[in-house]
Amino acid sequence: MAFSPALSRLIDAFRVLPGVGAKSAQRMAFHVLQNERHGGAYLADSIQAALDSVRHCRECRMFAEAELCEICRNEQRDASRVCVVESPADVMAVEQNTNFEGRYFVLMGRLSPIDGIGPEELGLDVLRDRLQRGPIEELILAVGATVEGEATAQYVAELAHENGAGVTRIAHGVPVGGELEYVDAGTLSQAFSGRRPL
């Protein structure tokens, strides 16, 4: 059975969301049309309003509605310590789970030449300008331990060293409460190579 053009378009629209396949998109579209027409209109208006008003902070590339995000505007934050993360979700994770009081730089991805993502797409020219303006004493690399994450970390570290900033990397390894027999080989290997004295 073929759906009407408007319904097909709505199903396709839901498929742009991460982790949403054809069946889930169809279920969401049916739910909105059957039970949540007001909610659907609110969702559509909210998406359009965000697309119209949300942009990147000129300093850190976090999402913001002004030139500077709330963190970059906060004079109480330590501008000499900058945490480099892959996504806005990573900023939220650090903010909610640590006592980090510095600033951020959001890459909005990681280097992946195969996918056409190079330094320009990650805004590394903005980071270079920020490093040159200084003074940034510590650049904290909080990127994933994937192959692309490692390449990104190496590139950013070289950029920091060229501009006289110190570089640290968040630890990777065995999670709190984790048992060694259940930890994958890569994680265990990193935990051993990153060990520190007590």
Contact between 157 and 127 (Cβ < 8 Å): no
Provide the pLDDT for residue 79.
94
Q: Residue 157: which residues within 8 A CB-CB, separation 6 or more?
A: 139, 141, 167, 169
Provide the pLDDT for residue 196.
64
Q: Is it true that domain 5-53 has CATH number 1.10.8.420? A: yes
Q: Within a 10 A sphere around the Cβ of 139, how many other Cβ atoms? A: 25
Provide the pLDDT confidence category of residue 72 given band limits of 50, 70 and 90.
Answer: very high
As annotated, the residues of the chain forming the CATH 3.40.1360.10 domain(s) are: 77-169
Q: How many CA atoms lie within 13 A of 51 on its CB side?
A: 6
pLDDT, tens digit (0-9, with 9 covering 90-100), for 19-41: 999 999 999 999 999 999 999 99
Provide the pLDDT for residue 197.
61
Interatomic CA distance for residues 86 and 174, integer angstroms: 21
Spell out the CATH class of 77-169.
Answer: alpha beta
What is the DSSP secondary structure assignment for residue 63, as one 8-state letter?
E
Interatomic CA distance for residues 103 and 69, integer angstroms: 11
pLDDT, tens digit (0-9, with 9 covering 90-100), for 136-164: 999 999 998 888 988 999 999 999 999 99
Of the two residues 181 and 48, the one the predictor is more confident about is 48
Provide the pLDDT for residue 184.
75
Provide the pLDDT for residue 131.
94
Q: Which residue has the tokens 């930890």?
A: 183
As annotated, the residues of the chain forming the CATH 1.10.8.420 domain(s) are: 5-53
Provide the pLDDT for residue 67.
96
